[in-house]
Amino acid sequence: MLKLIISIFLATSLFSSDLLLQIDKNLQPGSSESYKKLINIEPDGSKKEFLLYQAKSGTDKMVSSFLKPESEKGRNTLRLGDNMWLYMPAVGRPIRITSMQSVVGGVFNNSDIMRVDFSHEYSLEKEQLEGELYTLILKAKNDTVAYDKLIMSVDKKTITPTKIECYSSTGMLIKTLFYKNIKDFGNGLIRPSVIETKSPFYKDYKSIMVYGKITPKEFAPEAFTIENINKVNDLRR
């Protein structure tokens, strides 16, 4: 009996430690390219849309390039771990930005837009299974992460999020992310294709992120460097 209890405990502990890694894997391959549309909706119903190309490498590297609207073309971003930069052709050099700022305005911040693996930024503190949903409590690994704590609801069948509540270090709810519309992107990737967010700090504002394509792809290390931040669009070729 004691051996059985120990075996169950070890199996549960192993599963808990791997669950966050599985969520990351199910959301996006380690090295991949994607296209996403960002839509900011004002209280009066007016919209502003952006189309981005993004390339991700490993757990902590990502570059983005604005494709639309025409006025934003040439703007690129780079994320290396917890450090982020924005390149604007008019300035001609990269500018440091923070995770809580937003390169597109609206409710999504830079951390939401340039999301790397959750397991890179957070540790799993608590896990609970109720019916068809896991509830995970995640704690930021350091104080440079946009949110100090996440409460993540995860679908048991797909092991992908359905809702994420994002909190500050003082326990204040900053925003809630809703993961919707499960889609088969090919290559065994089945995940939510739409993320909507609302925030008590942006009353009657809404921002939506729509994934149009996610494809596994390998990139050279130099693609994720400050020196090449102005060449992100070349990765599409």
pLDDT by residue for the chain (237 residues), tens digit each?
544 433 333 334 334 558 999 999 999 998 999 999 999 999 999 999 999 999 999 999 999 999 999 999 999 999 999 899 999 999 999 999 999 999 999 999 999 999 999 999 999 999 999 999 999 999 999 988 999 999 999 999 999 999 999 999 999 999 999 999 999 999 999 999 999 999 999 999 999 999 999 999 999 999 999 999 999 999 997
Q: What is the pLDDT of residues 127-140, one digit of tens each?
A: 999 999 999 999 99
Would the pTM count as exceeding 0.95?
no
Structural domain total, the chain: 1
Q: To which H or E segment does residue 206 belong? A: strand 206-216
C-beta separation of 139 from 167 below 8 A: no
CATH of the domain at 104: 2.50.20.10
The structure tokens listed for 101 are 């700022």
Q: To which H or E segment does residue 187 belong? A: none
Q: Which domain holds residue 206?
A: 2-236
**Class of residue 78 by CB neighbours under 10 A (exposed 0-12, middle 13-18, buried 19+):** buried
Distance between CA atoms of residues 16 and 126, nearest Å? 9
Q: How far is CA 155 from CA 50, 129, 133, in A?
A: 29, 10, 5
End-to-end CA distance of the chain: 60
The set of long-range contacts for 141-148, using a CB threshold of 8 Å and a minimum separation of 24, is 142/82, 143/169, 144/82, 144/99, 145/82, 145/99, 145/111, 145/121, 146/99, 146/100, 146/109, 146/110, 146/111, 146/112, 147/111, 147/174
